[in-house]
Chain A
Amino acid sequence: MGASDMQLTPTGFVEQENQHMITAETPFEFFTVSYLTRIGNQSAGTLTEFLKGLGQCSDASIFHHTFQTLSSHHFLTEGFSNDFAQWAHADASREDLAEQLAALDVRDYLSIAALRSDLCRVVSDYCTANPALSEQAALERFYFCESVEVTLPFGLTARTLEEFRNGIVHSSHASFYFHFLSSRLRLQLQTNDFSHWLADGLGLGTLADSVNHIDIYTNTLDSARAKVLRLIDRERRKG
């Protein structure tokens, strides 16, 4: 394709003859992330202590037990949502509370503060409604931990949908998780790095929306990645 086939659009991407051959002005750079789990100095043996811990623990702790656990336990798609819900279920034996905690969808939150606020509200409401249960000792204590993050460039970049697809195929679980899930907090938007770039970099808004609607709670990271690839392939066939 010659240079005459391309033109710079107002949104900053270079449009080519076919939609899937668009070249973004700003490339997508794949990063990867690796986490250390730092053990905090708080633990909880009752719901009252749990509520106190939720209110006082660091933002990195809330992140660790919600966002990060989705990565480390991504292969569980039945009944495992976050560490808080799992503790309420398996150790505190409070199924009803576990259900409410599990129902909090991390994708609805643009800040840890908002997520923490809802976690506290759910537990606080439960304790208020069930005062006798809030002091009962759990089978095992909950230990508040936090994530220490190291990010590095993965060594893959993409300017076209084809290159982007290649990057998705060759990136690691951690890289996929970093861009697909934890990016929400970074972007402060209800989207992910992939969708953000597909829309802003390539102007593929519909594809971006479809990618953003993949349900991470009912998919493993592998199956979510497979769905992203299928959506990209469908887009390429349109071209």
Chain B
Amino acid sequence: MSEVAIASRIPLDDYAALLGEGEIDELRVLAKPLRGRSIEMINSTAVGGGVAEILNRLLPLAEELELNMRWDVMTGGDDFYGVTKSFHNALHGAPYHADQKDFDIFLACNERNRARLPLDAEFMIIHDPQPAALIEGRKKSGNHWAWRCHIDLSHPNRAVWDFLDKFVARYDAAMFSSPEFSRALPIPQYLFYPAIDPLSEKNRNLESGFVARTLTQYQIDPLRPILTQISRFDRLKDPVGVIRAYRIVKRYFDSQLVLAGGSASDDPEGAEVLKEVVREANGEADIHIIELPAWAPLEVNALQRASTIVIQKSLREGFGLTVSEALWKKKPVVASAVGGIPVQIIHKHTGLLAHSIEGTAYQIRFLLSHPEIAAKLGENGHEHVKENFLITQKLKRYMTLFLAMARAK
């Protein structure tokens, strides 16, 4: 395990300009009874992917509130990450043949990590399946353990879930990004949303010159509609389906498609999927496939801000935080009704949902034909994110959980 170097602190008062003084005072009110009490977050990667990104922003904010929160990252070899990637896909419903050797690798890695950490914070938050077995190291001191699952467990592979279930059931609570993902567990299950930081490089306002230069850098025409999907190159994000939807749109609107994303450090399949996407695009000039570094927040920010419509056509989704990122920038979004996306896209209020390639294409065409409706959806979407999916709300939810757990004992 290694403790992570976190992003620099942003003064709490800087958020007040966006959210109002009352909201910041409220955070202070909730934090007060938690001061001096220890909190530990544990996940499996320090960079890449939504969890690391959230924790990277959450910790500085917790520090601002004088909360004693630390973040540790699990360490493991390629074999462990290969197994957990298979588990990840299997939990999303992909085929998987149970192999005892995989389970043994998983358990051995968790045991090694258990030996290196005290695991004695008053509130232990374990993120995702990779470190789930750390619960075996729970002390008898009566600390509170909660498992935060960021992935879609609505149709999990039975063998993998049965294996994990016996660990998860020993926690005090579990948190999921959508009610659909919850399982039959003997512990309370809560709805927890991921969040974006409005002041991070990925979401803060940008100078228009920077946005323009980014478009020039990637040879994107600013004068024609830009349809964008920002996602790592992963089959579950259906980048090939996005290209097919775009081709339908292109028959009616002279537009461009941007598919931009990087691959997380725990995602060995990214390069393979990227090849499939390039093959599908077949060299078409208006399809821009952009491979970004794992951490390219300003470029992502600029591409989202330059977009006419943002797409998130996932086949399965934990939450789909790119939707909140786009909504925060007041962009109209067309997205699949999967995972946590319907929580963010209230159909016809904060965006449009689709269930197929053809449906996605139709909704995009509708918005391109009705820019006033697109603008209204973007405005509502911004307010929805402000109320529910900002990092400040996330921290508020955690503090509420800690207070509720402490009260329950």
Residues of A within 8 A of B (CB): 32, 34-41, 43, 72-76, 79-80, 86, 90, 139-141, 143, 145, 148, 150, 152-155, 170-175
Contact = CB atoms under 8 A, between A and B. Distances in A.
A39 B189 contact: yes
Interface stretch (B121-129, B247-255, B398-406): B398-406
A150 B403 contact: yes
Given A32-B29, A34-B399, 10 more contacts: A36-B397, A39-B182, A39-B191, A76-B349, A76-B380, A80-B349, A140-B342, A145-B191, A150-B30, A172-B22
Interface in B23-57: 23, 25-26, 29-30, 33
Contacts of B388: 72
Contacts of B23: 172-173
Interface in B235-253: none
B92 interface: no
26 contacts: A32-B26, A32-B29, A34-B397, A34-B399, A34-B403, A36-B397, A36-B400, A36-B404, A38-B191, A39-B176, A39-B189, A40-B179, A43-B179, A76-B346, A76-B380, A80-B349, A141-B180, A150-B30, A152-B29, A153-B29, A154-B25, A154-B26, A154-B29, A155-B25, A170-B21, A170-B22
A75 B29 contact: no
Classify the interface of chain B: helix, strand, loop or mixed: helix
B318 to A, nearest CB: 16
A34 B30 contact: yes
B295 interface: no
A101 B22 CA distance: 33
A75 B383 contact: yes
Contacts of A150: 30, 400, 403-404, 407
Contacts of B384: 73, 75
- Report which residue of A40, A141, A150, A154 has the largest number of chain B beta carbons within 10 angstroms of its beta carbon: A150
Interface residues of B, number: 39
Contacts of B355: 139
A36 B179 CA distance: 13
A175 B349 contact: no
A28 to B, nearest CB: 16
Complex A-B, nearest 4 residue pairs according to Cβ-Cβ distance, in ascending order? A143-B179, A75-B383, A37-B191, A172-B26
Chain A CB count within 10 A is highest, among B21, B26, B342, for B26
Interface of B: 20-23, 25-26, 29-30, 33, 176, 179-180, 182, 184, 188-191, 337, 342, 346-349, 355, 380, 383-384, 386-388, 396-397, 399-401, 403-404, 407
Q: Which of A36, A79, A140, A153 has the most CB of B within 10 A?
A: A36
B408 to A, nearest CB: 10
Contacts of A86: 346
Given A170-B21, A173-B387, A38 B26 contact: no
B16 to A, nearest CB: 11
Nearest to A64: B191
